[in-house]
Amino acid sequence: MTGRTGRNGSTQAQPERVMLVGVMLDKDGTGSSATRLNGFQTALAEAVELVKAAGGDSVRVETAKRDRPHTALFVGTGKAAELSEAVAADGIDLVVFNHELTPTQERNLEKELKCRVLDRVGLILAIFARRARTQEGRLQVELAQLSHLAGRLIRGYGHLQSQRGGIGMKGPGETKLETDRRLIAHRINALKKQLVNLKKQRALRRKPRESGTIKTFALVGYTNVGKSSLFNRLTKSGIYAKDQLFATLDTTARRLYISPECSIILTDTVGFVSDLPHKLISAFSATLEETAQADVLLHVVDAAAPNSGQQIEDVENVLQEIHAGDIPCIKVYNKTDLLPSEEQNTGIWRDAAGKIAAVRISVAENTGIDALREAIAESCAAAPNTDETEMP
């Protein structure tokens, strides 16, 4: 954030002016040229929302096409020169690349553009730093930030020395950029130990419910599909829910009474996003463990999203990575109210064998919620006890 002087002489917060850069690489995507272009444009639109979630203002979007990333500058010398001119002309505070940059590429780009540069990992971490509310969430963010920062400590150019604060610079992991690698490593080890202790405490809290018959259902899905809104609707809770990417970072659990015969623990978890780097998944393993330990997953999908199929695939890839791919799962298609009127029907959908395949709902219109509760009750009866290995 930067500041500006208001009419009364006070300094008012003002979003940083951000230029977003996306490069369409030949290796990215499959299918026809039109399909790949559509995927690229969808990813860019999502990146604009990520910038907004981080507190920035995307005042300019630049695109390029390359066979492969330029080793030193990612975009190549010619495009880098164009970007440098645009930065100066538009008074850009920060350039965000919707890609993962190497430390060398990031340093070279900052020299060339004479402006701070952030890659996709740094941008997501900046959002996480704004969203973390619990001790464990903050520790995980700091660990991820420091791990990302470790290779980016040497900034050999003076034009950035006076710049403090702003997107990606305010989190607990970047409060002292002068910290050397040895102290960074020491802090990382300390954070890991604290997270191990918190993981043990979480396991102890979870043990009583695992030893009983109560089942745990975890809401999972792409970011901003309505998981927290659904959680609030089902549990009558008031957890933070907003129409923005990564509105929820910390895991929340509530007891949910479905019927006299069915009572469950429902957990709300952080949303996933495309191209979620492995280092972020590793850093948030403690939070994601709640998903991996669930008896049943409720995979919430934005039914109205044009790329819902790709979002489903992205979520399923992360579930596989955290060893949750084999957990019984029900797809919950939300936001049906945003579909054409003839497609807004809600309720339970079953496969040829009569098993629940999906549930269609609208949290906003409060339709299909009873059908979802019915599906949960049916799955609760079918879900294995904690000492069983397979779902019948």
CA gap 169, 117 in Å, rounded? 11
Annotated binding residue 180 = no
Asked if 155 and 110 touch (Cβ cutoff 8 Å), the reply is yes
Annotated binding residue 354 = no
Annotated binding residue 352 = no
Annotated binding residue 57 = no
DSSP state of 343: G
Q: Which two tokens stand for residue 135?
A: 């001790």
Annotated binding residue 217 = no
Annotated binding residue 275 = no
Q: Going along the chain, which residue ranges are E strands?
A: 2-5, 11-14, 16-25, 56-66, 94-97, 116-118, 215-221, 252-259, 262-268, 296-302, 329-334, 347-350, 356-360
Annotated binding residue 222 = yes
Annotated binding residue 119 = no
Annotated binding residue 231 = no
State which amino acid sits at residue 292: A
Q: Which residue has the tokens 């084999």?
A: 326
Annotated binding residue 271 = yes
Q: Which two tokens stand for residue 379?
A: 């799955």
CA gap 291, 357 in Å, rounded? 20
Annotated binding residue 345 = no
CA gap 247, 50 in Å, rounded? 11
Annotated binding residue 334 = yes
Annotated binding residue 173 = no
CA gap 102, 309 in Å, rounded? 30
The residues facing 24 across adjacent strands are: 65
Annotated binding residue 270 = yes
DSSP string, 57-113: EEEEEEEEEESS-BTTTBS-HHHHHHHHHHHHHHT-SEEEESSPPPHHHHHHHHHHH
Q: How far is CA 172 from the centre of its chain?
A: 18
Annotated binding residue 284 = no
DSSP state of 269: -
Annotated binding residue 247 = yes
Annotated binding residue 215 = no
Annotated binding residue 251 = no
Annotated binding residue 101 = no
**Which residues are documented as binding site for Mg(2+)?**
228, 248
**Which residues are documented as binding site for GTP?**
221-228, 246-250, 268-271, 334-337
**Which residues are documented as binding site?**
221-228, 246-250, 268-271, 334-337
